[in-house]
Structure 1
């Protein structure tokens, strides 16, 4: 039995339209029951990419000038693989696009995902009980706006940036 507050399976077709996964991300999604055996095979047939982010970080580090060494601390975290980030995005996107499967209250389900993923900072701007970021729109309109911005940014990060040119 899972100790998660919420669990559901995401179809491979949904994932393909929103993200290109690294092998580690595919493994994480399967091991955490976000994707089926059949979905893994479908994604493996054409949706897997090499892990390019660490090499981009290495390149950025190698190009730092002596007066930019203060950037090392932030950049070095890019060398660690983050399999969870794409699954936070995909699960939130699934909830938002299928609200009727979640009692038409996506924010309640998103709060449960927030706990299940161990409270990722990326989700804080659209968690109803968290204070809104400074200079942002308050209330449900602000939550919805920040959620849309998050989904758009993740789509660009996990799909657009990883797609072959």
Structure 2
């Protein structure tokens, strides 16, 4: 019983921290509703986490080496605030953020960013959508594991996968 692969809180096998749900740019309603139902049932706060994979963690750069300039000569003003679209989609389903839910915007590799957030918040579990279907998604998985598969390898807490048709 002592070798359970996830963290404990007060002797139980389930912590009482928030529930993390990884949300893509266009969050599927089914994923959000299921995560909300689970968080409500557990009586925990829901943290919706949007990870921008095109960004990177600047905190690991040596001091004084960070620059504010882009290497991309073409700027796209819409790409500067992708989280605004995510927040609008979440508010359409959940209402205004507050006591029951919040939004976190992260950068970097999606599974690693979600795992770091779960560790820093003492999350009870992480909820993600299932792998996408189609030829393009299958080819993408040949090059890189799905978010859910990678999370299950690197995370010590439960990972709940919600099938999204």
TM-score in same-fold range (> 0.5): no
TM-score scaled by structure 2?
0.27
Q: Which of 1 and 2 has higher RCO (CA within 8 Å, sep 6+)?
A: 2
More strand as a share of residues: 2
TM-score scaled by structure 1?
0.27
